[in-house]
Chain A
Amino acid sequence: MDLLILSRLQFALTIMFHYIYPPLSIGLGVIIVIMETMYLLTRNPFYHKMTRFWVKIFGLNFAIGVATGIVMEFEFGTNWAAYSRYVGDVFGSALAAEGIFAFFLESGFLAILLFGWDKVSPFMYWLSALLVCLGAHFSSIWIVVAGSWMQTPAGFHIVGEGITARAEITDFWAMVFNPSSMERLAHVVSGCWIAGAFMVLSISAYYLLKKKHVEFAKVSMKVALTVALIATSGQLMTGRISADGVAKRQPTKLAAMEGHFAPNAPADYYFLGRVDEKNHRVSGLKMKGLVSYFVHGDFNKPVQGLEAFKKEDRPPVGIVFHAYHFMVMIGLLLIFLSVTGTVLLWRGRLFDTTWFLKILVPSVLLPQIANQLGWMTAEVGRQPWIVYGLLRTSEGLSKAVQASAVFTSLIMFTFIYVLLFVLFIFLLDQKIKHGPEGLERETQRHRA
């Protein structure tokens, strides 16, 4: 296999594996802050002990997030050295800002959450929870800003020619607020909240079904359901806005997402479909002209299809189309689950509707899958560019690295990440089985 494919595979593997963890940190962070705020306001120790359980899950998750995150920090240089030289002036600052503003905050105050239980006052504990949560969100801001710059570069100019050419910053804030960064950030963060909320829903549902830690599970579930309801509806809105942005600024990506080949015809929206990439055909359940309507507000106006672009400028269609459509379906399913849960809660039947609880237990996987598919849509849809319209992915590779070296590291990554994942699941399972501590007495009080 050649260097390009191996390097892309390795980046995909490492970033996708890493991305299991940060969304959980961000989402759980929000839930922990809510619970600890409840404690600070009521001073009911029940809430404090609830926080403690979720903090332990957070800690496990964070440890693996950091371990796999160090890889990402250096992988731009190891495998994409030419890219790093080309964009370092612009992209590097966002990454460095993430380190300074986010990671120190998050890792420092997490130590207090995990080990400082009896060393600090309740207010300081609450503040630490808030700062950890903020740190996690700051980190998403800077990394999404950096990633969005690769989609819609702004605030820079090109200096030099040939192999010495590189992007240099002209306007830092134009780089930060590049055309897609805020809408993508909103979409990413709501995806993270959903991931955290469904993690809590899943574990709580499991306890309710097993009739263990019932009071704990009920309160956790209410908190998580609120977050899920807000975040899933936010996800729908931000998804729409993001897609509009793609239509305006990245026509080839939009065409790939919608499987729209004809160079200049109205575009249909497929609810379900299959792409035949060779013959440029899509079959499935569609609504005629809906994409045209989304883009222009008119069902009959033409949208640029893939055939309007040079062959070497088109992204792979099948993978983008399917990832995107799958993501949308899961998104809708998550909204349905959140609404159903809320209705059941409102009717006072949530905690004994067994079939629904049984659905909630595996539903933790849904936001995880949707988040991965969303990134696949975004990043594969950007191909063949590493920086959209500016630098091709093949031009970003390291010149000093041989395919055999990447093959070796890829094998090592696969091995280590499998091990890491097995251990993660094992420990998570253990923590769940162990359950929250010291809640029996508090439960009595909570009931009273």
Chain B
Amino acid sequence: MDLNLIWFILVGVLLAGYAILDGFDLGVGALHLFAKGDKERRLMINSIGPVWDGNEVWLVTGGGALFAAFPDVYATLASGFYLAVFLLIFALIFRAVAIEFRSKQPSSLWRQSWDVAFSLSSILSAFLFGVVIGNLIWGIPLGADKEFHGTFEGLFHPYALLTGVMVVSVCMMHGAIYVVMKTEGQFHHKARGWVKNCIIFFMITYGILTMATMLYAPQMVDHLKKHPILFLIPVVQLLVIANIPREIYHQRNFMAFVSSSVAIVLFMFLFGSGIFPNMVHSNPHPEYSLTIYNASSSIKTLQTMLIIALIGMPLVLAYTLSIYWIFRGKVKIDEHSY
């Protein structure tokens, strides 16, 4: 295994960490308006209260790692998707603001406006992440100069819209399970109903997306054809997803959450292995694609960064686990709450 591959996997790990963690809090945001009344909505926001900020750090660090390990990918995507990137960032800023400010005034108009802002910005963020993923699968027009030669509107083709919706549905399912895990009583029962509906929504988008991918982006399954053993991944993934309602039924909510996290990781794996060795697939000129080799930093930098990651990542995992451990259990509203 060479350094370029290791870094492709490491960037993937950071982004998968982001998808699992911010995935559920974006999902909680997407479901927010289904919670009725101030009490339920406070439970929603406070369930993610201590952790959403830390979850976003995974995105920042994933971006930093991409910059360091694959500067051309970072530069091409950020400048090529210019307006989309800023739209995403604005959505994330709005979301942060909504979380922080909602509880600061008792007026119901104030709170309901921030509720809408929180929910819409969460949905928009998840959707835009999906659009980016859809474009990476579909391919974007690149030139020999490694630069993007398309347009902003061009990013929103039907396949990308479909992946956008699909990511929203994954987040909603993941978020609904998280809410079930963090709440009790009447609201808990309501959230259990959400899980069921979210799984249905998710399965529909998943099915359509799978068909669309086989038909229109068949290169994504080339690796599965060449290495049939990899076909186990989608099979395991389906089993894991089927396991969610089972765990929920048996009140093993944490295991349901683990299942949906595993499903997300497997999605990232399928995505990563599907585009490999490309990082940005060029369409219509595949010869201009950015690969893990032609877009990477020097071996020296990849080595140095690997040392940094080997020191840093165990620390990061230790912090993350201890924070989640300290804030385990059902969410309670108290004077420190949002």
Residues of A that sit less than 8 Å from B by CB = 60, 62-64, 66-71, 73-74, 76-79, 81-82, 84-85, 87-93, 95-101, 103-105, 107-112, 114-117, 119-120, 159, 163, 166, 168-170, 172, 398-401, 405-406, 408-409, 412-413, 416, 419-420, 423, 427, 430
Selected from B53, B74, B94, B315, the residue in CB contact (under 8 A) with A110 is: B53
Q: How far is the CA of A119 from the CA of B298 in the complex (A)?
A: 46
Contact: B72 with A85, CB < 8 Å?
yes
What residues on B are CB-neighbors of A91 within 8 Å? 67
Complex-state Cα separation, A305 to B121, whole angstroms: 53
Of the A-B pairs whose beta carbons lie under 8 Å apart in the complex, a sample of 12, sorted by A's number, is A66-B56, A88-B297, A92-B67, A92-B69, A99-B57, A100-B312, A104-B57, A117-B336, A119-B327, A400-B80, A409-B82, A423-B101
Residues of B within 8 Å of A93, CB to CB, are: 68, 301, 304-305, 308
Q: Please tell me if B316 contacts chain A, counting CB pairs below 8 Å.
A: yes
Task: Indicate whether B147 reaches chain A with its CB closer than 8 angstroms.
Answer: yes
Interface size class of B (residues with CB under 8 A): 35 or more
Q: Which residues of A contact B69 (CB under 8 A)?
A: 92, 96
> B267 contacts the other chain (Cβ, under 8 Å)?
no
7 residue pairs, one from A and one from B, having the closest CB atoms:
A88-B71, A77-B78, A92-B68, A99-B61, A100-B312, A398-B79, A81-B79
Q: B319 contacts A92, CB within 8 Å? A: no
Least CB separation from B320: chain A residue: A108
Nearest Cβ on chain B to A119's Cβ, whole angstroms? 6
B interface vs A, CB < 8 Å?
Answer: 49-51, 53-54, 56-57, 59-61, 63-65, 67-69, 71-72, 74-80, 82-83, 85-86, 89-90, 92-94, 96-97, 100-101, 104, 145-149, 152, 297-298, 300-301, 304-305, 308-309, 312-313, 315-316, 319-320, 322-323, 326-327, 336-337
State whether A78 and B86 are in contact (beta carbons under 8 Å apart), knowing that A103-B57, A104-B320, A107-B54 are contacts in the complex. Answer: yes
Number of cross-chain contacts by CB at 8 Å:
222
Q: Is B93 a contact partner of A420 (Cβ separation < 8 A)?
A: yes
Tell me the complex Cα distance, A100–B83, Å: 27
Contact A401 B79 (CB under 8 A): yes
Chain B nearest CB, measured from A122 CB (Å): 15
Taking CB atoms, residues of chain A closer than 8 Å to B77 are 77
Find the residue from B49, B57, B96, B315 having the highest chain A CB count within 10 A.
Answer: B57
Q: Are B316 and A73 in contact (CB under 8 A)?
A: no
Residues in B with CB closer than 8 Å to A170 are: 300
Give the shortest distance, in Å, between A405 (CB) and chain B (any CB).
5
B25 to chain A, nearest CB (A): 13
* Contacts A92-B67, A163-B145, A409-B86; A112 near B326 (Cβ below 8 A): yes
**Given A60-B100, A71-B89, also A98-B64 (CB < 8 A):** yes
Q: A169 with B300: in contact, given A100-B312, A405-B82, A409-B82 (CB under 8 Å)?
A: yes
Complex CA–CA separation, A111 to B51 (angstroms):
7
**CB within 8 A of A412: which of B90, B152, B327, B336?**
B90
Known: A67-B96, A103-B57. A89 touches B152 (CB 8 A): no
Question: Whole-angstrom distance between the alpha carbons of A62 and B92 in the complex?
Answer: 15
A169–B316 CA distance with the chains assembled, in angstroms: 26
Given contacts A70-B60, A104-B316, A168-B301, contact A111 B79 (CB under 8 A): no
Q: Are B327 and A77 in contact, with the CB atoms below 8 A?
A: no
* Nearest B residue to A415, CB-CB: B90
Question: Is B75 a contact partner of A81 (Cβ separation < 8 A)?
Answer: yes
Q: How far is the CA of A399 from the CA of B148 in the complex (A)?
A: 9
CB distance from A52 to the nearest CB of B (A): 9
